[in-house]
Chains A and B, each alone.
Chain A
Amino acid sequence: MKLNKKSAIIYSSSVFFVVFNMIPFVPRVTAAFKYLQEGMSIPEVRGKDVITGEEVSSQNLLRGNVLIVAFWATWSERSIMQLKDMKEFYNDHPDLPLKIIAVNVENQLITPEERKIIESKIVELDLPFPVLIDDNLSVFYEFGVIAVPSTAILDSTGILRYAPSGYSLATRDLIVDSVEVLLGLKKPSITSVVKKGYQPAQKASRYYRLALQLAHQRMYERALANLEMAREADTLFSAPHNLRGQIYLEIDSIDAAVRELETAVRLDSTSVAARAGLGRALLIDGRIDDAFDKLSALHAEDDTYTPALLDLALVMVKQEKYREAIDSLKSALELNPRDPIVHYYLGKTYQQSGQKAKALESYKTALELIFPAP
């Protein structure tokens, strides 16, 4: 069919208009967890329900159900919003094979007063699903939670399919959409965020999980050995390379870190954690412009990944772009207002830009979080 010039302009403008308006709805890369990605199974979440005292286990709840694990805290307004929305959805659809666990990640050490606040909030919300308290934040660290709230949505076989960090009206809609897709109530559309992800070999997953635990305990040599076995068991599994990169950064083997993280990104270009890790490695290596390119590209796709926001801010400070750095750090703070590292770097940025009073406040906040009053 031949078009005349006028029709061609109208036609192409219409197509452009439709595509342009779809852009906000095209799913972006997001990551809620540093050590988990879509396609992997999650560590088991178990504990006692705060209200009933019953033992709760994610493995038991899965059994053919779609499972949502929501990380929340009483000091996070968005968490409370999310819990209320989840309660409404759950109550409106009582017959769906859907289970939810809410995991409170209030603090590293929860005082009796904080526990009372958490319990009274749970009673006030009157949630129809189990709520656990993550004492010592062990589950928090095992998942590598980046921000609060963060959510893990698993299919009925226990595989992670969507993991948003933060919460907004848009996130709510995406969570509902992904649950409906996983329950088979609708087909995935162009705007669906449910990812198949790469499912690693079970043996590789086991070695990886063990390596994670060893790395948390700073037993890096053994962690690296297990990661090597994970890599041998599944050469296409990118998470071990990401974790190797993180460990090499900890032990100051920057060249090795860059190599491993580049491999992780090559194997999975959607891995936010690996891309952020690579940006960080380049920053530490002094390759500021390369770090800026990587991190700003990632930021354009996912502005909720706190470690990348932090590193981007550091790069901007080195480039003396203080205002932009402060904006980046303030975004990171909105996602996790109780992260002392963010307050620390905000303080440093204020100080370097000559704002001493603001630097004092930021430093003080960071230290109050690290050394709370007894």
Chain B
Amino acid sequence: MKIRIIVIFSICFIVSLFSVSFGQDDDVKARRDALRRCRSLLKETIKNIDAGDYSAALSHIDSVLICDSGNADAYFHKARTFVRTGDTASAVLTLEVGVAKAPLSSRNRLLLARLKIGQNAADKASAQCDQVLAIKPNLAEALYIKGLALAAQNDTTGAVEYFEKALDSQYSGKK
């Protein structure tokens, strides 16, 4: 009798576990599908950009951002598309949103820094580079763009120092 109770109780317990997980599964599945769609849209975007089809790229990117508004790569590629079409102002605005939504993306910060240098805002560019270097002190691209920002501010000594660090980290151990 006791054994029967134990067995029935175990079966009920196991069935209840399954029913809870099936309930969760639908949400997880939906989220997974959405992310999969985003990833494939992003791949399409990159193909569009490489092929020079910028309007298709922007359309795909906007769809990505609808399903994943914090997607750092989407902001990067959207900005890249604007840069390719010569619309630097839109690229900067995109990246500013992107940096706010995904502050750990060094790629977005560095592209923003580059564009800020072009807008004669080298101090802001420098600040973006500092944010990246605080986490990744040996990132060659960040050191390079910091050097560009310093060169734009006529700090030749500083620029040379950062350029050298960037190249040393790129070629460390080669010679």
A residues with CB within 8 A of B: 111-113, 252, 284, 314, 341, 344-345, 347-348, 351, 356-357, 359-360, 363-364, 366-367, 370-371, 373-374
Contacts and interface: CB of A to CB of B under 8 A. Distances in A.
Interface of B: 50-52, 80, 83-84, 111, 114, 140-141, 144, 147-148, 151, 156-157, 159-160, 163-164, 166-167, 170-171, 173-175
Given A356-B157, A360-B163, A366-B167, A314 B175 contact: yes
B171 A347 contact: no
A154 B75 CA distance: 50
Given A112-B51, A371-B141, A374-B111, A351 B164 contact: yes
Contacts of A345: 175
B3 to A, nearest CB: 59
Contacts of A314: 175
Given A367-B144, A370-B170, A360 B160 contact: yes
Nearest to A366: B167
B94 to A, nearest CB: 13
Contact of A363 (B141, B160, B173, B174): B160
Contacts of B151: 360, 364
B83 A363 contact: no
Given A373-B114, A374-B80, A374-B83, A363 B156 contact: no
Interface of B is mostly: helix
Contacts of B80: 374
Contacts of B167: 344, 347, 363, 366-367
A347 B163 contact: yes
5 contacts: A112-B50, A360-B163, A367-B147, A371-B140, A371-B144
B44 to A, nearest CB: 16
Contacts of B50: 111-112
